[in-house]
């Protein structure tokens, strides 16, 4: 549908070798992307996926490098690799993520869902900002969990394994997915020449992983009963399972829409703009989270 806006362009995507990332990558290559640069943390899975993509498409249209979003030094190395090889990044797709994990911290000491889903992607986006035309952030309808509480900066700043009392994997996930939306909006405010957008894909990646289908980071960090509570029971039909291809369609749409059709700094669901919860509209929260991410990643910039 938007092939003319994909053809000849350079895309960078994290977490491309599992779940929605697989179908997103295939769609971009099928529609004529000149290069898709994939970033993931598992060498064997990444190598196998790159080999598969090179065999299915022209070998010179696929590139990749390791990135561990829970390790800011690794994020910097990936960004250095991309910056050294590419003059322009037409679209950066912040696709990788974890969900509903047990209490834990990243290598740099951040609560791991916030650290991987938000802070790691923030640093990557900041390091590539001078070459990036558009950022696509994968958020989730999960930003509405618990009626959508606002971002809790005190929780983000003070969480540790010594201070984990009352930790909830779903609350931490809600905060990280809310964080994706807030940071995406603030990036456009501070860098008006960079188009940003966030989106909800679908619940499918988790459920397919349980069914023996696609092996996803999300599927490895939650369980069936827990996910049913948040991703199935009580949700309207259009928020329930989709095929992986359908789940990736909103990502591809947001990456490919012409600038005059894209709702810049907006939130998308089912390939169309959709109104996010009020917790994702607070401008003070956008600035506070952005400033915090900027401060804690400064030594890697």
Q: Which residues are identified as catalytic? A: 173
Q: Supply the DSSP string of the chain, one letter for each residue.
A: --GGGTTT-EEEEESTTSTHHHHHHHHHHHTT-SEEEEEES-HHHHHHHHHHHHHHS-GGGEEEEE--TT-HHHHHHHHHHHHHH-S-EEEEEE-----SPPS-B-TTSSBHHHIIIIIIHHHHHHHTTTTEEEEEEE--GGGGGGG-PPP-HHHHHH-BTTB-TT--HHHHHHHHHHHHHHHHHHHHHH-TTSEEEEEE--SHHHHHHHTTS---HHHHT--HHHHHHHHTTT--GGGS---HHHHHHHHHHHHHS-TTTS-TTEEEETTEE-PPPGGG--HHHHHHHHHHHHHHTGGG-
17, two tokens: 């070798």
Residues 142, 251, 103, CA angle at the centre, nearest 5°? 35
Task: Please give the backbone phi and psi of residue 75, each rounded to the nearest 5 degrees, phi first.
Answer: -60, -45
Crossing angle of the two packed helices 283-296 and 169-190, in degrees rounded to 10:
90
CA-only gyration radius of the chain, Å: 18
Tokens 């099928």 appear where?
A: 30
The distance between the two most distant Cα atoms of the chain, rounded to a whole number of Å, is: 52
């Amino acid at each position: 549908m938007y092939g003319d806006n994909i053809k000849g362009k350079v895309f960078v995507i994290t977490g491309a070798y599992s779940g929605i990332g697989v179908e997103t990558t295939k769609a971009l290559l099928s529609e004529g992307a000149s290069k898709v640069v994939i970033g993931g943390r598992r060498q064997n899975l990444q190598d196998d996926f790159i080999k598969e993509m090179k065999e299915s498409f022209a070998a010179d249209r696929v590139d990749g490098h390791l990135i561990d979003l829970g390790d800011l030094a690794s994020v910097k190395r990936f960004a250095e690799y991309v910056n050294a090889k590419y003059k322009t990044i037409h679209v950066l797709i912040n696709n990788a993520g974890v969900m509903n994990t047990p209490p834990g911290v990243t290598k740099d000491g951040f609560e791991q869902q916030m650290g991987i889903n938000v802070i790691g992607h923030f640093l990557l986006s900041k390091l590539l900002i001078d070459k990036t035309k558009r950022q696509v952030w994968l958020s989730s309808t999960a930003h509405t969990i618990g009626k959508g509480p606002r971002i809790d900066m005190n929780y983000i700043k003070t969480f540790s394994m010594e201070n984990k009392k009352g930790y909830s994997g779903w609350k931490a996930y809600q905060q990280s997915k809310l964080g994706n939306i807030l940071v995406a909006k603030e990036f456009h405010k501070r860098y008006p020449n960079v188009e940003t957008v966030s989106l909800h894909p679908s619940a499918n990646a988790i459920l397919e992983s349980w069914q023996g289908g696609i092996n996803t980071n999300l599927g490895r960090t939650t369980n069936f009963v827990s996910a049913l509570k948040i991703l199935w029971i009580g949700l309207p039909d259009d928020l329930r399972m989709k095929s992986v291809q359908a789940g990736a369609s909103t990502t591809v749409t947001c990456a490919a829409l012409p600038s005059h059709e894209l709702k810049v700094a907006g939130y998308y669901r089912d390939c169309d703009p959709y109104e996010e919860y009020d917790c994702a509209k607070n401008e003070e929260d956008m600035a506070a989270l952005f400033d915090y991410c900027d401060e804690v990643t400064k030594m890697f910039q």
